Amino acid sequence: MIKLYTVLMVVLALVLVNPRSGFSVSNEQMAVDARAISLANTVTADPESTLPTHYNPAGLSWLPDGKMLRNSYAVPFVKRKGQFTADEDWEGLMGGTWGPDAPYNPDDPLSAHGGPDPLAGKTTESSGGRMYIPFYGPVDLSFGSSMGLSTRAKDSKWTFAHANYAPYGGGMTHRDEGDPMRFKMKSAYAQHLIYTAPTVSYKFSDTLSMGMAMCFGQSALGTEIDSRAPNMMTSLQRVLGDATKDLNIPYISQETMPPPWYGGGMGPYEYNVRAKLNLRDDFSPSYNMGILWRPQKWFSWGACYQSEIKSEMRGDYRFEYSDQYRATVDWSASSPMTTQSAGMLDLPIKSVPYQSGTVTGTVRYPQRVQTGIMIKPMEKLKLLFDLHWADWSIVKESRFTFDQKIHPLQSAKLLGAKGGDHAIVVDRDMKDTWHWSVGLEYQVTDKLCVRTGYEKRPTSIQANLFDATSMPDAEFFGVGLGLKQKKNMRLDLSFGYLYYRDYKVPNNTSSNFNSTIFTDIGSSYAGLDYEQDMTVKIFAIGITMPLEEQGRRISGVLGLVTLPFRMVGKVVNRFNPLAKDADNES
């Protein structure tokens, strides 16, 4: 009986959350600059009118003399749809008591809580974006902005610049009541914001330049999950809880295992734990290096290296426990035998409504290399080609460490969980990505050019480790136009479209999503097939102009804003006797 108690209490480990370290390749330079979006990020050999600090710092040497300002703003709209269906070949839990065709008989304790998974046949759809705003916190919206300021004295070989932008960013929410995805991701975000990037470029000759940027950034990560545990052990626990609710052997029951066993038990399809984590690191340095070679007007070659970003993150957490979960924990101290067993196994014996405190974790964004060429087969046409590599294989796991023993983790360690009772560790085992992109820019008139680009974005996620924030292989298309104006001013308008279709996750193929093995922590959809589509639409605008022109325009805007107040002041002074007397005295 003690052995049975021990085995079934281990089930508490299976209500853990499954936080991620990021969105991997899905949030890699998605919305950094308007012109780059229209060319599908194919700008390594032609970066001067984008944001050279990020794409290729050597491109600064090809900007006009003087002080130039670049602003870019982007608004992404993320839409993810999914469909859960029962796996007809899966026999279900407890010999079919729970499953796709499970019978339901309220008079039979073994099927009193049986039946198919209530999520079978349900659809999921994202309800909005999610991001972290510095000095404020996480919000349910998404936008991106970047700024670059460069300066070069006339005829100087040195160009200096400063920039801020977000090379990584992604997030979404599933807050609609009843959305099935809330059991893996009610909301999540992962981003890296470079708040300052001093940059320098040197032009060795009329054809060759090199540049380097030192980047100082903030990484932020957050998730919110309502968890459940559809596995054999939660099913058995609920069955025994139902079967023993009227069992009462005088004295023996009270001294051993009081009814109902496990306080009634947690069911496989019920909400058990709500988890919220928000972490950040306000100082995550990195650097970019670039080279640009233009031996001919019709040809250029560029390359850029972006170093790894390692963020030691710190933040807060909160685990909220359901009433049934608390009843199961409290049952551990309901008799001398259960109390003794729980003490021997270091299991929780007194429930709390929630646990909160400080959490730490390490997030790594990979080193990247991109190289490309630009060819002008005719005066008005540019053809661009880039090759990209990212070292995502450095991400082996997600590890988040808490400042106290977390009740579900105290049980998880009995299953051999890597993090013990203070940490959650989830295997990631990401893979490196190689991909290419192409772009085309055509100068229609002296003032107008049109652009388009295509980028194939392979996933860094292993199929057997797919989870709610994973993005499979996707395709990205960009279109846009550029408008030249007087005084070295440029306006870029662009639209980006990323998508994938019909990605399938068959039942029992991902240990982080729908495994039927009860020891796979974080598997919330056992017995279910899943199919998913996703689109990301990005609207962006970019403006490049001399800094002096920006100042004049801001002064003009401020003048228009203050014009009504100045007019009111003149009217008041006209009819104010005191003002007239002051004028006469003067």
With respect to CATH, is domain 2-585 assigned 3.20.20.70?
A: no
> Which helix H or strand E contains 130, and what residues bound it?
none
Rounded Cα distance between 164 and 198, Å, is: 9
Rounded Cα distance between 142 and 129, Å, is: 5
Rounded Cα distance between 544 and 525, Å, is: 49
Residue 11 identity? V
> Would you state the pLDDT for residue 271?
84
Give first-to-last CA distance, the chain, whole Å: 104
* Token pair of 46 as six digits: 């032609």
Residue 149 phi/psi, 5-degree rounding, is -130, 120
> Which helix H or strand E contains 463, and what residues bound it?
none
> Would you state the pLDDT for residue 17?
40
Rounded Cα distance between 117 and 76, Å, is: 34
> Which helix H or strand E contains 560, and what residues bound it?
helix 547-574
Model pTM? 0.86
> Counting beta carbons within 10 angstroms of the beta carbon of residue 559, is it exposed (0 to 12), middle (13 to 18) or buried (19 or more)?
exposed
Please report, for residues 317, 318, 354, 355, the alpha-carbon distance to residue 405 in angstroms, rounded to integers and kept in the order given: 13, 13, 12, 9
> Would you state the pLDDT for residue 5?
43
Q: What ranges do the domains of the chain cover?
A: 2-585
Rounded Cα distance between 188 and 468, Å, is: 9
> Would you state the pLDDT for residue 237?
83
Give per-residue burial for 105-123: e unless 16+ CB within 10 Å, then b.
eeeebebbbbbbbebbebe
Please report, for residues 185, 200, 547, the alpha-carbon distance to residue 402 in angstroms, rounded to integers and kept in the order given: 20, 41, 48
Residues of the chain where predicted confidence (pLDDT) is lower than 50: 1-25, 111, 557, 579, 582, 586
